[in-house]
Structure 1
Amino acid sequence: MSYLSRRIEPTAALPAAGFLATAIAYGPARMAYGLFLPDLRATFGLSTELAGLIASAAFGAFLAGLPLGAALLTFRGPRAPVLVGGATATAGLGLAAVAETTAMLASGVVLAASSAGFCWTPYNNAAERIAPREKRAHTLSVISTGTTVGVAIAGGLALAAAFSGLGWRVAWVVFAGGALLMTLANIPALRPVAGDPGTQPGAGAGVRSLKRAETRPLAVAAVSFGITSALYLSFAVDRATTAGALAVGPLDSAAPLLFVAFGIAGLVGLATGEIENRVGLPALVWSLFAASALSFALMALRPGAGWAVLLSAALQGAVIMMMSAVFSFWSARLFPQIPSVSFTAVLVLVAIGSVIGPAIGGVAADAGTGGFGLEGVFYAGAALSALTPLGLSATLIEQASSRPWRPGRRSRTIFSAPA
């Protein structure tokens, strides 16, 4: 019997607790370092090279957290990795808030960033077992969109720090408190599946099943999305700040307002499941890559115009949140027997793209004497987003779509039998 066939009483606490977990893990725990980097530079005297090394170490911790979280899920069920992720976020953000040395700061930032590797994929397993079948896509959309609230709140606290002299340490203490609250909220929410990973296929069979033809568009989309999203998050603030956008009063960085717009617009991700239900998965995926291309183009063409920067950030926020939700239910539909394993594989591909993007973009930007620079980086990001749909087969994407992508064509979905 598949573990998906085990009947568990549905609970409304799951989407709320998952939303809070991703809000913390993929919001301040993963992004606050970049958002507050100017303040951290001033406090600790960080050089550009050292700041980059800390950022790389934080990303490495996230990447390491993915297989560790998957292992915990396999042996202890979905609650264990979420609680570990909550603990690392709480401890890391708290340590960074009271850091007196660069080593303490780096340790806190890296520890906090690792929480993102633990705190998302377990919900695919939990949603397949707890949420009613007709609500699973919506549940996963709600959970993945938690990131946008975390980012918006982080941006709001950065604004408060700039205009009131609040200080970055107070903001990080608030983040640590939120991480503790998230950890406590997930104890009862995930109790129905605590300690029970379910009976899953053998590891070899699970990995072999990931090589099916229907996974190719998912893999291409994941790598492309990883490259473009990392490019944007790495260089958008520098591009806008250098051009003088969004400088208001004591605010000399575009980061707080850019992140607020990014986060608020990302709330559209809550409707991802419903939108996909109306237009189908192929049309939704193509539309998101088109919106990403426009976001990059605006930042390339008008980096000094506040309206263009805010619109660009809003588009990118919506794209990142909606695409994250899409990956969550896309992988779960293709691999209903191994939803968390498949989603972890997708996140690894996104992470690989995230390594490639900033590395190449940074080299290209530094070679700006030839006229490429950050402007060229954003033109390249726009081109990649615009061209990616050409490598995606609508017929293969349709295998995981909730409806036909052409009027009158019968969809060939591969959902599992109702639990």
Structure 2
Amino acid sequence: MVGGNISMSNRLFYVAQYFTPEPYLKDINFIKSLKDKGWDPVVITGFPNYPKGEIYSGYKNSVFKIEEMEGIKVIRTYTYADHSLNVFKRILNYLCFGILASYAIFKFGKKESFYYVLQSSPFVIFTAWTVKLFKSKSKTLLDIQDVFPENIRVSGVIKQGWIINILDFILNNFYYRFFDFFVTVSNSFNKIVQSKGISKSRVLTLYNWSMVEADGTTSSDNYQFAGNFYNIVYAGNIGVHQGLSLLTDAYKLVQEKYPKIKFHFFGDGTDFEALKSKLKEKQIHNVELHGRVSSTEISKYLNAADCLFLHLISDPIYESIIPSKLQAYVEVGKPILGGIQGEAAELVSANNLGEVFNSEDNNAMLKAIEVLYNMDASTIEKILNNSKQLYADDFSRAAGATKVDNFLKQNIVN
């Protein structure tokens, strides 16, 4: 697909289903960072509706709407807004964007440009096909957040193995091969993409950065949780993949052995009600469910924590995933309690950022908490320093924008 370096203008079309003002990672600040490095960016996106599936106040759905946001041209396409658990409606949501974003490329796109496509569903392949057909001297990059069909298998939406195999064949032959370059969120994902017949030189590992940083917020207050407790904070989606309802025995064990430890969960999701029900059933009182809070507000809770908690269910695919909340935790610099595996666990352990335990293992979680609870001040200070250094070098938006810029310029002669 790519024959050495290519001659191209500095035009860059960033195609993403979700964008500012939605709370999404690669936002207006990321695009401004690329503009500062000499790129001429245009954004193609939908009308803001995430996470509730309702068009934001101040916006009116239409086929196309062009606006300027902080000096960046933003083209919004008609959006079928839905984030329910209805599979048919969710498919329509993704399909609608895939088709209309492709039409926007046909209508507004330019030749000899670079098309940076943020993956939201397999339907973004329509954008790559459109570029190949109508902007043939342009190049495309797919920013992979989830490797298909592996994440479809894990989601449980499709359980039949033969269907997954068919999807794998289709994706390998009609999806990945139509993009020129790739960005992955972990080294493990990088290797999976290479296993699909894509050369190493065409794939960049780009760690996600903190959503708190994406909002430009810092903790300037001195918020503290009520009472004299050791506060363990979880912030993010409470879904089946996070499996927090599978750890109620651990919460119970902590409650019985360490009454001065309290868990604070911020967020909601498909596992929220199951978790709430189990906490009530088992009379667990050391877990507070705060619900969803804004990304601008969450920073004060993260900074008030004694320990930051994350967990993913036990599945081989999660050995390749670095959860986005891990980056936010690293930026804050508090000790991390991680029920994680693979590359994410290695990052925490290798950089001495806290304690990890096997996913879904309640007894191992208790032991990890005991280590963190009894940690001395000097060790906590070392974790802070290690975290700040790791974030600046590998996880920050500034580091990410530099990596993207260098990767593109290695393959493009302006």
Same fold (TM over 0.5): no
Structure with higher strand content:
2
* TM-score calculated relative to the size of structure 2: 0.29
* TM-score calculated relative to the size of structure 1: 0.28
Structure with higher helix content:
1
Which structure has the larger Rg?
Answer: 2
